[in-house]
Amino acid sequence: MFIEDYRASKILFNFLISSNIKGKFILPSNVCAVIPLIFHYANVDFDFVDIQLNNFCIDQNQIKEKIQAYSGVLFVRSYGTTEDFEPFFKTLKIQKQDFIIIDDSCLCVPDVNYEESSNVDLKLFSTGYAKQVDLQIGAFAFVHQNFKYKKIETKYSSNDYDIYEMELSNDILSGRLFKPHEYHFLKNQEYNYDLDQFKSKVSDAMDHKKRLNLIYQNELPSDIQLGDPYQQWRFNILVNENIKKKILKSLFNEHLFASSHYESLSFVWRNQASPNSTTIKKKIINLFNDFYYNEEKAFSTCKIINKNL
């Protein structure tokens, strides 16, 4: 079943409510901040599992070990990785046939021609702000035929998500456990894609990324680059924590930009340590390769990085 909506988190919320899920879910510790809030809002309990350092995605061995105690997993393709996880998903379904697999591909290239997998129950794509194809709005998904899906009416307040982010950030900085209250942050908004326009946008975005990625690949030392499967959403490098601070400060001073990606959420939400996620957060820098950046800025960014290594 092909689903469209104004953002991926609304599709996820609708899916969780429509499916009447019982039991706990597994979430990766490096997930986007909206995800645990969606599960909380849908009254689906969850725990976190740390990531693997070899592919920056949730630890597959831990999921296989814990699978009998949980009803499903939200698997995030970190940095839009193109790695094939279908064999892993198949293994999970063999272990536990009714185990629900949500394949969060929101940082991947959005693919309206995705061939639905018998092992994936919900496949999510996004074209929202800062995604690979940035339309500032929109998401679509493929829902397995075994699941019901309906749109759920939600209350909405325009400031509530900003309040959540501020409260969460304050608790992360203070080392406190986050105590969620009621946030009304999901709209009841229709959105449908113009597929011809969408396909054109995908092609333009991919061409732009290739040009900027080639600059980063050629100008930066190979030993700090993450490698091809993880250079789709942004071009990612790993450096020492102190060097990272110097690089970011120097970039911002020159009115250039880079990001650090997500905080580990396991401690602030569940008082669970996730050392791998914490380590990567301290070292990773996401270099821009979208339409907010151009070739001149990419070359300038490389010069600053090389100067600070």
**Tokens 């997993």 sit on residue:** 73
Cβ(134)–Cβ(128) under 8 Å? yes
pLDDT of residue 164: 97
Q: What CA–CA distance (Å, rounded) separates 32 from 265?
A: 9
Q: What CA–CA distance (Å, rounded) separates 24 from 21?
A: 9
* 41-96 per-position pLDDT tens digit: 999 999 999 999 999 999 999 999 999 999 999 999 999 998 999 999 999 999 99
Residue type at 1 in one-letter notation: M
Q: Global pTM?
A: 0.96
Tell me the Ramachandran region of residue 274: left when phi exceeds 0, alpha when psi lies from -120 to 50, beta otherwise. beta
Q: What domains does the chain contain, in order, with CATH numbers?
A: 2-174 (3.40.640.10), 195-308 (3.90.1150.10)
pLDDT at 227 over 90: no
* 183-220 per-position pLDDT tens digit: 999 999 989 998 888 888 999 999 999 999 999 999 99
Q: What CA–CA distance (Å, rounded) separates 18 from 26?
A: 19
pLDDT of residue 82: 87
pLDDT at 287 over 90: yes
The confidence band for 261, taking pLDDT boundaries of 50, 70 and 90, is confident
- What is the token pair recorded at 202? 């995908």
List the 122-126 sheet strands across, edge first: 2-5, 139-143, 122-126, 100-104, 72-76, 25-28, 46-49
* 134-168 per-position pLDDT tens digit: 999 999 999 999 999 999 999 999 999 999 999 99
